[in-house]
Amino acid sequence: MKKIRFALIVVVLAAIFHFVPFFDPAEAWLVRGYLGAGSAIRSAAYRAGGSFEQVIAAGKIEKENAALKQQIAGLDQKMAAAGELVAENDSLKGLLNFKSRTDLAIIPCEVAGSDPDATVKALVIDCGSESGVAVGDAVIVGDGTLVGKIERVAAGRSTVLLPTDPRSALAVMVGDHPESNGVARGEKGLVVAMTLIPQHAPIAVSDTIVTTGRETGVPRGLVMGTIESVTSAPSDPFMSATIAPAVDPIDLTKVAVVRQE
């Protein structure tokens, strides 16, 4: 109401100033002032409206971004789950192929966790004496990739000693050269060292290292890993090498015990 009254007063004054020549300057001033005020008011209103619309738009964009982030997180989880299923499926196919190729009995097991003793490089699996697991049995994944050997057996669970453990010792050789044999032992829980390799034996970086089958419970040809480096001195009758294990125990969820006959 105040704005309407003010507008009426301005109109009346403008009419008076228009018909009385004496008031011409006042008329011009009044009209200019009114129009200027109106323009300023309109400009401020437009700016306020624009800012308000920008705030609304920013809020909508923020909500849309949050929704997109949730969708992406959900897709990532689905992709991770799908990847795990594919890996498990490939491992099971490998185990079936290993069983048909070797005609050896295998016991599927799940990894329950790592050994609680931090100084020990070992896994705990959910298969025990009731499943026929015995000390010395080889533990594998896929089509014959060695994980380790059974060290302890109890009801419902067993401990698998990994090749990186200093107490582990396995008779191994280069896959394509049986004469390139030696003993694989864990070093400080970090790497696997192959020692007692005959000086004349053909061995090189990237060669595949497999088990010899000379140990009870460990079949011939299980893949342990690949050669990372070779150390040789002409005056020494033996060479040594470091082996990169073929599997990372952290990634394992399912394994199989090769049962002794």
pLDDT of residue 40: 54
CA–CA distance from 75 to each of 65, 71, 78, 83, 206 (Å)?
A: 15, 6, 5, 12, 37
* Over residues 197-225, mean pLDDT: 92
pLDDT band at 11 (very low <50, low <70, confident <90, very high): very low
| Cα gap 137→14, rounded to integer Å | 109
Element housing 11 (H / E): helix 2-19
| Cα gap 43→45, rounded to integer Å | 5
pLDDT of residue 7: 47
pLDDT digits (tens, 9 = 90+) for 220-244: 999 999 999 999 988 889 999 999 9
Segments making up each domain of the chain, as ranges? 1-103, 106-261
Average pLDDT over the chain reads: 79
Of the listed ranges 19-23, 59-63, 180-184, the one predicted with least confidence: 19-23
pLDDT digits (tens, 9 = 90+) for 32-87: 555 455 555 455 545 555 565 666 677 778 777 877 777 777 766 666 555 555 65
Write down the pTM of the prediction: 0.65
pLDDT band at 147 (very low <50, low <70, confident <90, very high): very high
Does 106-261 carry CATH code 2.40.10.350? yes
pLDDT of residue 250: 86
CA triple 114-111-100, angle to 5 deg: 135
pLDDT band at 170 (very low <50, low <70, confident <90, very high): very high
pLDDT of residue 50: 58
User: Which residues on neighbouring strands pair with residue 110, listed in sequence order?
Assistant: 254
| Cα gap 193→183, rounded to integer Å | 8
Residue 81 has φ and ψ, to the nearest 5°, of -65, -40
pLDDT band at 117 (very low <50, low <70, confident <90, very high): confident
Helix axes of 2-19 and 24-102: crossing angle, nearest 10 degrees: 140
